[in-house]
Amino acid sequence: MASWKKRVLVVLVAVAAVVSVGLAFRPAPTSALADGASRPAADAVVYVRPPGATRGAAKELAALTGADRHDPRALARATRVARQNIEAARASGDPRLLGRAEAAIAPFVGDGDAPPEILVLRATIRQSLHDFDGALRDLDAALARAPEDGQAWLTHATVLTVRGEHAKADESCARVRPLAPPLVYAVCHATVLSLTGHAHEAIATVDAAVAAAAPSTSGGVLAWARSSLADYKVRLGDLVGAERDLRAALAASPGDAYVEGALADVLLDLDRPAEVLALLAGKEANDGLLLRLAIAADRTKATERDRWVGELRSRHDASRLRGDTVHRREEARFALEVERDPPGALDLAVANFGVQKEPADLRVLLESAARARERTAVGPAIAFLERTGLEDPAIARARRALGP
C-alpha cells in the first residue's frame, strides 16, 4: 500500500504541503482552521489548482525571470506558480514539474534570507525528490523565523516519518496540535502510533477524531483521514476494513490519485486484479497508477499488459537518464512482480531503504530478498523492524520466508 504523505489541497490552513510523485508520498490535505486556532499569513495559503493550470503557470514562470526579490507582488506570484506546479506534479506523477516549481521560487531564495514560505516550498520540492536532509534544513530555518507555522511543522513531521525517525516526528506533531484542527493533529500522531506497534490505538484515535470533526471539514481532509485509517488497518491485516475506508475516502474526494492507488493495492492483496483494471481505467499518465495497472494486467493476462509494461520501462529509463531516483520503490516492485527479477528488485529496494523506511519500502525489500534467497542485505531492515515494533502481516510473512 502507498505510504503516508499528504496532499496539497484547500484554502486557509496551516497543514503540510507534501507532493505525491508516483504515489511514493501522501500529500496532506488542508482544511479551514478551527475557531481560535492560529492562521497562516495570506501568502502561506495553499490553493487547489487542477493540472491544466500549469499552462498558465508556465507563462507566469517566464515572467518571473529576473523578478525583484523584494517585490511582495512578485513573491506572491512566485509562490502561486510554485504551488500550481507542485500540485500538478502530485496529480501527474511527473517530477519535471517540480523543476518548474523550483525555478519559480529561485529569485527569492537568496543567501540564507529567503522568506519562510519560500523555504517551506523548497522543502516540499526537496522532500519530493528524496532530498530529506535538504528539506529538513529548510524547514528548520523556516521554523526558526516562523515557529507558529503549522504547515511547516506538519511537513517536518512527514519527512521524519518517512525517514523512520518516529519519536522526532511525534514531537513535530505535538507542535501542530495548537495550530490546526483536532483531526489534523490526530492523523499526524496516529500515523506515528501505527508505525510503532500501536495500530489499534491509532485506529481508535482517528475514528474518534473523524466522529468529532466539524461539519465544515472539507472532503479532502476527510479523505486523508479515511485513507490513513485504511493504512492502519492494512497493518493489522484488516483488508476488508481498509477497502471500506478507502471507498469512503473516494466518495469524499473523487479522483484522489493517492486513494485510488491505495485501493488498488488492497484489491491486489485481495486477489481481485480485474477490479483494479476497472478502477484505474484511463489513468495511465500517473506513474504510480500505471504500475498498479501493469501488475493487474500481468495477473489477468489483459491485452494491455505488454503496452503498459513497455511504457513503464521507458519511463524508468528516462528517470535514470535524468538522474532521478524518486521511483526506486516502484521500480523494485515492478522488477519483482512484473519482470520477475528478484535480484534486480533487491538491488533497487536496498538502495531505496537507505533513503526512506515506510512499510511499503520494507515490504518490497523483504519480499525481494525472500524470493532472491538473500538474507544478508536485509539485516538493517530486520533491525529496524525489531526496534520499531511495526505490525504488518505481509512484512511478517516475507520475514518468515527469509528463514532463521
pLDDT (average), residues 324-350: 95
Length of the chain: 404
CA 325 to chain centre: 15
Task: Give me the half-sphere count of Cα atoms (radius 13 Å) on the Cβ side of residue 162.
Answer: 30
Q: What is the DSSP letter of 130?
A: T
Residue 42's pLDDT is what? 31
CATH 1.10.10.60 holds for 1-214: no
Instruction: Flag whether pLDDT at 266 surpasses 80.
Output: yes
Confidence of residue 326 (pLDDT cuts 50, 70, 90): confident
Distances, alpha carbon 92 to alpha carbons 21, 96, 157, 256, in Å: 8, 10, 25, 11
Residue 59's pLDDT is what? 66
Instruction: Flag whether pLDDT at 151 surpasses 50.
Output: yes
Residue 312's pLDDT is what? 96
Please check whether residue 2 is in contact with residue 288, taking contact to mean a CB–CB distance below 8 angstroms.
Answer: yes
CA distance 29 to 87: 11
Q: What 3-state DSSP class applies to 177?
A: helix
Distances, alpha carbon 168 to alpha carbons 149, 159, 164, 366, in Å: 17, 10, 9, 26
Q: For the ranges 11-15, 226-230, 281-285, which has the lowest average pLDDT? A: 11-15
CA distance 112 to 286: 35
Structural domain boundaries in the chain: 1-214, 327-404
Give residue-wise pLDDT tens across range 158-196: 999 999 999 999 999 999 999 999 999 999 999 999 999
Mean residue pLDDT of the chain comes to: 84
Give residue-wise pLDDT tens across range 77-119: 888 888 888 877 776 667 778 888 998 898 888 766 889 999 9
Please check whether residue 14 is in contact with residue 41, taking contact to mean a CB–CB distance below 8 angstroms.
Answer: no
Residue 112's pLDDT is what? 66
Instruction: Flag whether pLDDT at 365 surpasses 80.
Output: yes
Instruction: Flag whether pLDDT at 11 surpasses 50.
Output: no
Confidence of residue 16 (pLDDT cuts 50, 70, 90): very low
Residue 69's pLDDT is what? 63
Residue 279's pLDDT is what? 98
Please check whether residue 271 is in contact with residue 287, taking contact to mean a CB–CB distance below 8 angstroms.
Answer: no
CA distance 79 to 285: 26
Residue 61: which H helix or E strand, with range?
helix 54-63
DSSP 205-218: HHHHHHHT--TT--
Q: Which residue has the higher pLDDT, 391 or 31?
A: 391
Confidence of residue 218 (pLDDT cuts 50, 70, 90): confident
CA distance 271 to 128: 31
Residue 84's pLDDT is what? 83
Residue 67's pLDDT is what? 62
Residue 327's pLDDT is what? 85
pLDDT (average), residues 213-234: 92
117 C-beta neighbours (distance < 10 Å), count: 27
CA distance 5 to 224: 9
CA distance 331 to 89: 18
Please check whether residue 178 is in contact with residue 12, taking contact to mean a CB–CB distance below 8 angstroms.
Answer: no
* Dihedral sign from CA coordinates of 30, 133, 176, 13: negative
Q: For the ranges 36-40, 255-259, 357-361, which has the lowest average pLDDT? A: 36-40
> Considering the entire predicted model, what is its pTM?
0.84
Please check whether residue 241 is in contact with residue 210, taking contact to mean a CB–CB distance below 8 angstroms.
Answer: no
Residue 62's pLDDT is what? 58
